Amino acid sequence: MEIRIRFGVYKGVFNKPAGKTLEWDSFFDMRDTGKGKYSIKDIAKMTKENFRQVIDEFYSRVYYRYYMENGLVGIQMYDPDILAWMGLPPDAGEKEIKTRFRELAKKYHPDAGGDSKKFIELMEKYRRLVEKY
């Protein structure tokens, strides 16, 4: 499905263009090699709700890549990697992002006894999220 979404169909065949990587390969590890975010063993142990959340996260990443690769800038979609780093779901909105940013800023701010490196990383990631919109 990712190939169809991102690259379309050519003469009835789904093809991945040379040099392109799939989100699937970095997300799911079906051979238990330790390379994907979720191994087949992890998936087998999940509840139905957890599995649904994983699939939602996967498709959010697929559509995010599609939008970025095709220059669809008007679509308000945030980088799912940064959202995950902040502890937010892939479909988080502007209000949720701002709220979580403020919580993390208080936690990591050096004046409050936080880690200055984490604070700088938070500021950079937040800036990347809000610059596009």
pLDDT tens digits, 31-71: 878 788 888 888 899 999 999 988 988 988 888 888 888 87
* 8 Å CB contact between 40 and 30: yes
Task: Indicate the CATH number of 80-131 among 3.40.920.10, 3.30.465.10, 1.10.287.110, 3.20.20.70.
Answer: 1.10.287.110
Instruction: Sort 80 into a burial class: Cβ within 10 Å, 0-12 / 13-18 / 19+.
Output: buried
Coil, helix or strand at residue 70: coil
pLDDT class of 106 with cuts at 50, 70, 90: very high
Domain ranges of the chain: 2-69, 80-131
- What's the pTM value of the predicted model, to 2 decimals? 0.62
> What residue has token string 């308000």?
76
Neighbours of 1 (CB within 10 A): 10
Average pLDDT, the chain: 84
